[in-house]
Amino acid sequence: MSKSRSPIALYLSLPILSWAFYDFANTIFSSNINTVFFPFYMDEVLGTDEVRQQVASTFISYANAVASFFLVLFSPLFGVWIDNTGYKKRFIVWFASISIFFTFMMGVFAGIDFNTAYAGIPLSLFLVVVSFVIAKFFFNSSLVFYDTMMGDLGTKEEMPLISGFGVAVGYLGTICGLLVYLLVSDGDFHRAFIPTAILYLIFSLPLFFFIKDKPIPKEHRKKIKFLEGYKEIVQTFKEMKKYKAIFTFMIAYFFLNDAIATTIAMMAVYATAIVGFTSGQFIILYLVSTISTVIGSMVFGYITKSIGARRSVTIVAILMTIALFVAVFATEQWMFWIAGSMFGISLGSMWVTSRTLIIELSPEHKRGQFFGLFAFSGKVSSIIGPALYGTVTFLLRDYGTIASRIALGSLIVLTIVGLIIHLQVKDEENT
């Protein structure tokens, strides 16, 4: 790879453009299914009163936790596959295709009335939830290979530009995906599922066709053992004890990411069921939050450069705490507008600051291992937060909307715990 490519030449090269379009494609799935229309659908079908709204919240949060659990179970094996075979695109094609198929089936099942219910839960809804768990698991699995593919697209110096370009194109995917709302109006939210699957497929095609794998020759491959991936994590974990600062931050990030992952999954149903947003108003709120995320990412890039990543993470954690506090006590829509915008800023900024801090704290020859554990920590934490939220809403379901407010309040506790642990992080020489 040439080191002299201009940013425009870099962005317009076919491999990088094709790679970035997959970010566009999978962000359509993430925003449409995970954040907006699946929660809307669940609340529409189940949330006929305040108690059942909390049951809907429990279903959504547990479905997200189950998908994350399977990802944690299999992600160490994915790393072994990558290191041993060199295949990345091949796995993305398979995993994305399965995710697209089950996203499509969510729409098919939701449109069928089986006239069958168990414990008041329609069979169609059960099949939609199962399809969602499968679609989200394979969506998240494809991202493990997608993120690793970035290293094949340019020089080390070009990585920040390539990474930033992918994120920017991904945010455009959010806006494109929300156009599906025009087909939905304020009801029959399952109508968004099939168009989302189609868009997910269309914008995945450039990566499918224009990027080539660089497989490791078969004679250099070793037999893959499932447990090897876990042994690598245990080994990395043992070595991290030599690096107290980065180890401490990993624990802090676990709690901070808990709050982030849960808020992303639950914000739609909370805004509509608890604060009183219509689905159309929430779409506008979500767009504004996305714009806030973009602005926050850019601004905190400069802040991080100026005051350092450690202090920047502290500021972002405080901002998250304030945003969640406002959301918990929001009785008027304008209060949630403030909370949504603040959380949008902190969401983008947490990615910028935490990744930079990992680079600052880790020695270069071990950076890959630490980033692997950083990702693993994020996946594990995305089980705990939704499971906690779902348990609170289920146990307190008879108390109506107060259950969701207490569940969201539990995320404030997680954020404060993460902030307190992060304040123990000391700058170390990354040697």
Predicted confidence band at 222 (pLDDT cuts at 50, 70, 90)? low
67 in Cβ contact with 133 (< 8 Å): yes
Residue numbers of the domain that contains 182 = 15-216
Closest of 19, 283, 53 to residue 150, by C-alpha: 19
Domain termination site, one of 216, 238, 258: 216
Same domain, 110 and 31: yes
φ and ψ of 118, to 5 deg? -125, 125
Residue at token pair 């970010």: 23
- From CA 273, how far away is CA 37, in angstroms rounded? 14
- From CA 361, how far away is CA 254, in angstroms rounded? 17
Number of domains in the chain: 2
Same domain, 353 and 322: yes
> 215 burial class (0-12, 13-18, 19+ CB within 10 angstroms)?
middle
274 in Cβ contact with 404 (< 8 Å): yes
pTM: 0.79
pLDDT at 2: 47
pLDDT at 353: 81
Same domain, 196 and 102: yes
Same domain, 265 and 294: yes
Closest of 332, 325, 19 to residue 159, by C-alpha: 19
60 in Cβ contact with 132 (< 8 Å): no
pLDDT in tens, 356-376: 788 778 776 666 667 667 777
Task: Kindly state whether residue 222 falls inside one of the protein's structural domains.
Answer: no
Same domain, 249 and 145: no
Residue 413 is part of a domain; what is its CATH number? 1.20.1250.20
Task: Kindly state whether residue 384 falls inside one of the protein's structural domains.
Answer: yes
Would you say residue 398 has pLDDT above 50? yes
Predicted confidence band at 88 (pLDDT cuts at 50, 70, 90)? confident
Domain termination site, one of 216, 245, 271: 216
φ and ψ of 233, to 5 deg? -65, -45
Task: Kindly state whether residue 10 falls inside one of the protein's structural domains.
Answer: no
pLDDT at 293: 81
Same domain, 114 and 248: no
Same domain, 209 and 246: no
Q: Write out the H or E segment, with its range, that includes residue 50.
A: helix 50-85
How much is the average pLDDT of 65-79?
82
Same domain, 209 and 248: no
pLDDT in tens, 300-321: 777 877 887 889 899 999 999 9
Same domain, 212 and 234: no
Same domain, 341 and 197: no
Same domain, 258 and 396: yes
pLDDT in tens, 33-50: 988 899 888 888 876 667
Same domain, 201 and 102: yes
Task: Kindly state whether residue 155 falls inside one of the protein's structural domains.
Answer: yes
